[in-house]
Amino acid sequence: MNPLVGDFARPAAPAPVIVALDFADAAQTLAFVRGLDPAQCQLKIGKELFTATGRALAEQLMAQGFKLFLDLKYHDIPNTVAQACKVAAQMGVWLLDVHAGGGRRMMEAAAEAVAGFAERPKLLGVTVLTSMEAADLRELGWADEPQTLVRRWAALAQDSGLDGVVCSAQEAQMLRQDAGADFLLVTPGIRLADGAGGDDQRRVMTPEQAVAAGADYLVMGRPITRAADPAAVLRQVNAAVRA
């Protein structure tokens, strides 16, 4: 794989896969994570699991050596989002996200809230969800194509002081050219070439395609969590994207 995307050198990503822990409770999660190596992946906790377990499970996973992406997609008035981000930073999470659709003042407040931490989380703006297509946007009143809206919101996120965005891998090459090498691109909607893990995602790519397009980190849930041998799938994906 060519380490250059356009004119920019890509930053190294020693463990590109973020495993989405889409489980219902702590027991299932801990049983699954026992088979994973922190050197091979990061972990993501989303709304379902965090609502079920609170911060206790998140802190337990971080104590085991895993970097944690707290994927709660904050979207509220600036002060509320800023205070939530501050609490997440105090927990010691690695990645944290807010909805770019919340606007400049909300994103600037979030960035300011975590700026004073010695080891602050990287802050991401969520652009257009990978489950959404142009028809979904039109129903919400957006005339723009997904790519156009993603581009606009990513530029606003960068200008507001965020470290990167969550986007479809289909937009990664465009955003890498726009934003440069240091802007993080975290891409859900990653599916294996054999089609394993098919679900409600629409704008998808394989791991190799996503990294070649400029993605830094690949969020993968069901293709790994439902695999017969999750650790083997991780090794396979890591080897493929580093080849």
Span between the terminal Cα atoms of the chain, in Å: 6
What lies within 8 Å, CB to CB, of 213 at 6+ separation is 5, 169, 170, 172, 173, 176, 205
Has 201 been labeled as part of a binding site?
yes
Has 99 been labeled as part of a binding site?
no
Any idea of the CA torsion for 79, 85, 86, 88, to the nearest 10 degrees? 150
| Angular region, 62: left φ>0, alpha ψ -120 to 50, beta rest | alpha
Has 67 been labeled as part of a binding site?
no
Give the tokens for residue 69.
């992406």
Has 104 been labeled as part of a binding site?
no
| Angular region, 116: left φ>0, alpha ψ -120 to 50, beta rest | alpha
Has 217 been labeled as part of a binding site?
no
Euclidean distance between CA atoms 19 and 21, whole angstroms: 6
Has 80 been labeled as part of a binding site?
yes
Q: Which residues are catalytic?
A: 71, 73, 76
Residue 35 has phi, psi (to 5 degrees) of -90, 5
Has 75 been labeled as part of a binding site?
yes
Has 2 been labeled as part of a binding site?
no
Euclidean distance between CA atoms 34 and 23, whole angstroms: 14
Euclidean distance between CA atoms 16 and 1, whole angstroms: 14
Q: Is residue 98 a contact partner of residue 140, using CB atoms and an 8 Å limit? A: no
Has 190 been labeled as part of a binding site?
no
Has 161 been labeled as part of a binding site?
no
Has 176 been labeled as part of a binding site?
no
Give the tokens for residue 50.
């965090």
Has 225 been labeled as part of a binding site?
no
Which residues contribute to the annotated binding site?
22, 44, 71-80, 130, 191, 201, 221-222
Binding-site positions for substrate read 22, 44, 71-80, 130, 191, 201, 221-222
